[in-house]
Amino acid sequence: DTEVTQTPKHLVMGMTNKKSLKCEQHMGHRAMYWYKQKAKKPPELMFVYSYEKLSINESVPSRFSPECPNSSLLNLHLHALQPEDSALYLCASSQDLIVGRRDGYTFGSGTRLTVV
């Protein structure tokens, strides 16, 4: 299995809702990443996890809450989002942080989030 699987593919949520995005990989990778991509823009790093511990938080608002319950799974919990949070949320993984710098990342297909 050489894929990063993200669910759901599409999500529409209201500003008062609580929802979660899920990312799963079975490649034995120990580094996982969340990126946010607005339309016609490059991906922007949100969080980095290394061996299930949060390594980088790029000053992301607290309405986004990441969780890494095990080495294969990465969640992004969403609460009280704003319409400007509508974007494509991409998950990625690499063997570890050092290998990731050298070899790049494997990306999932993303979750298209619309906040209404």
Nearer Cβ to other proteins, position 79 or 107?
Answer: 107
Q: What Rg, from alpha-carbon coordinates, does the chain have? A: 13
Q: From the list 12, 101, 114, 116, which residue makes contact with other proteins (rule: CB under 8 A)?
A: 101
Can residue 107 be called a binding residue for other proteins (CB under 8 A)? yes
Shortest reach from residue 77's CB to other proteins, in Å: 21
DSSP 7-26: E-SEEEE-TT-EEEEEEEE-
Can residue 22 be called a binding residue for other proteins (CB under 8 A)? no
CA distances from 25 to 4, 31, 52, 71, 77 (A): 5, 11, 13, 8, 18
Peptide bond into 42 cis (omega under 30): no
Q: From the list 13, 27, 80, 97, which residue makes contact with other proteins (rule: CB under 8 A)?
A: 97
CA distances from 85 to 12, 106, 114 (A): 11, 24, 8
Nearer Cβ to other proteins, position 82 or 114?
Answer: 114
Can residue 4 be called a binding residue for other proteins (CB under 8 A)? yes
Query: What is the contact surface with other proteins in residues (CB under 8 A)?
Result: 4, 6, 31, 33, 40-43, 45, 48, 50, 55-56, 90, 92, 97, 100-110, 112
